[in-house]
Amino acid sequence: MQTTNAENKMGVMPVNKLLLSMAVPIMISMMVQAFYNVVDSYFVAKISENALTAVSMAFPIQNLMIAVGSGVGVGMNALLSRALGEQKPEEASHYAMQGIFLLLVGYGLFLMIGLFFIHTFMASQTDIAEIANYGTAYLKVCCFFSFGLFGQFAFERISQGTGRTMDSMISQTVGAVANIILDPIFIFGLGFVPKLGVTGAAVATVIGQILGAIVGLFLNLTKNKEIRFSLRDILPDWQVAGRILTIGVPSILMVSIGSLTTYTLNRILGAFTSTAVAVFGAYFKLQSFIFMPIFGLNNGMIPIIAYNYGARQKERLYKTIRLSMLYAVSIMFIGLAVFQLLPDKLLLLFEASEQMLTIGIPALRIISLSFLLAGINIIAGSVCQALGRSMYSLLLSIGRQLVILLPAAYLLSLSGQIQFVWFSYPVAEIGAFLLSLILLRRALRQLNWEPADNKRN
């Protein structure tokens, strides 16, 4: 039975109410995830500053996993939602199953990375054996059991793509809460559980991810009537998988560039002191409280834009973009105020030493100057993804991070003053803002508003 616009809220609900109903549950779940990221580092920091530094250096590999999961999810989500908007439920289900297939391939890739490349990766960032060993142990657990992470991406994005963002929130929250509860148990040992230190933080993380994936699968199987789950459809259909990757690969590359950026900045900062790397890691955990809600807003926005483009409802699409920009800037303004007024309090969450405070307080204040423009840039890139212009998002990410941020950070590091390195962030966002305005305008002008029934399949 085919779905009609009247049956799907993405085609009929008032746009502001729709955006909030789609985005707020995801934003809440992502805030919970941001909280567990901070809690994770909070407990790790109690082991030692070297332990916190190791987890910070491990982040690029974790971010690569997120890149693959979110990139495939973006491609699957955009095509799935567009198919529903065009009244093609069977096609939407097939996109969902092929998305799951691609995520299984992603798990196999990171299993191989965990088996053969982790110690080399850690040793390339530090010559301190304790830091390298901590990071190697942490990442091996994360890679071996990353099927939980990829399962979460699969089932949460299917829920989001069909407008069931409350189900997505439930599965994400279950995983995050489990991680928060298990962190101190596995890190410090409790009852029959031995003290595992940094490895315990990884164990808590993967258990939370596996539980989140199980809950997500259960909710989709029992509640999601718009997607038909079929093991036969998970078998590779290279043509459909290729369509998903056409949209998803630029997103994968875009997030992967973040891994390269973090890795390179770790090396630049490590040339000053390992404490600077710990500060950078603490910043990444703290900024997730600001950026995670924006990413939640994105995840609610993308299916609305894709659906209404498929349904040829132009005004609803444009209103969604305007409201998303407004909410993103508002959230970023709050983040800017907090980072400017309370940097010392934020850093003390990580047992910050005097040296860490000396480096970290100006770092948080300088980097946060970029927040307002960053919010606009993130929304602009995601709109391009939702409209099938993922290359624009990739160009924006390349321009911001590889063309501006990293060269600026390196050149500023030559001054010998570590605080100058942090100014690379505001400089990068100014350049990215100018580029995002050009690319977003081009993406919108290139849209084809011909009725869907008149287009060739």
For position 7, what pLDDT does the model report? Answer: 54
Identity at 133, one-letter amino acid code: N
Of 103-112, 114-123, 190-199, 442-451, the poorest mean pLDDT is in 442-451
Smallest CA-to-CA distance from 393 within 67, 160, 66 is with: 67
For position 452, what pLDDT does the model report? Answer: 52
Q: b/e for 340-359, b at 16 or more Cβ within 10 A? A: eeebeebbeebbbeeebbeb
Q: What is the largest CA-CA distance in the chain?
A: 67
**Residue 365 DSSP SS3:** helix
Alpha-helical segments (H) within 368-452: 371-386, 390-397, 406-413, 418-421, 424-445
Phi, psi of 302 (to 5 degrees): -55, -50
For position 8, what pLDDT does the model report? Answer: 65
From residue 183, alpha-carbon distances to 199, 236, 241, 291 in Å are 10, 37, 37, 23
Query: How many other CB atoms are there within 10 angstroms of residue 267's CB atom?
Result: 15
Digit-coded pLDDT (tens) for 346-356 = 999 998 899 99
For position 6, what pLDDT does the model report? Answer: 46
Burial of 91 (0-12, 13-18, 19+ CB in 10 A): middle
Of 64-73, 136-145, 412-421, the poorest mean pLDDT is in 64-73
Alpha-helical segments (H) within 224-353: 231-234, 238-270, 274-310, 314-341, 343-347
Residues contacting 409, CB < 8 A, separation 6+: 264, 265, 268, 421, 424
Smallest CA-to-CA distance from 151 within 129, 175, 128 is with: 175
- Tell me the C-alpha distance between 363 and 375, whole Å: 19
pLDDT above 90 as % of the chain = 49
Digit-coded pLDDT (tens) for 118-160 = 999 999 988 889 999 999 999 999 999 999 999 999 898 888 7
Q: What is the pLDDT confidence band of residue 114, given thresholds at 50, 70 and 90?
A: very high
For position 156, what pLDDT does the model report? Answer: 87
Alpha-helical segments (H) within 189-228: 198-223
- Is the pLDDT at 449 greater than 80? The verdict is no
**Residue 193 DSSP SS3:** strand
What stretch of H or E contains 401?
A: none
From residue 272, alpha-carbon distances to 181, 265, 417 in Å are 36, 11, 9
Q: What is the pLDDT confidence band of residue 69, given thresholds at 50, 70 and 90?
A: very high
Query: How confident is the prediction for the chain on average, in pLDDT?
Result: 88
Digit-coded pLDDT (tens) for 73-82 = 888 887 888 8
pTM comes to 0.77
Digit-coded pLDDT (tens) for 423-443 = 999 999 999 999 999 999 999
Digit-coded pLDDT (tens) for 308-348 = 888 888 889 999 999 999 999 999 999 999 999 999 999 99
Decide if 368 contacts 336 (C-beta within 8 A).
yes
Digit-coded pLDDT (tens) for 183-225 = 999 999 988 889 999 999 999 999 999 999 999 999 988 887 8
Decide if 324 contacts 297 (C-beta within 8 A).
yes
Digit-coded pLDDT (tens) for 254-307 = 778 888 999 999 999 999 999 999 999 999 889 988 998 898 898 889 888 888
Phi, psi of 190 (to 5 degrees): -155, 130
Identity at 350, one-letter amino acid code: F
Cα angle for residues 359, 364, 365 (degrees, 5° grid): 105
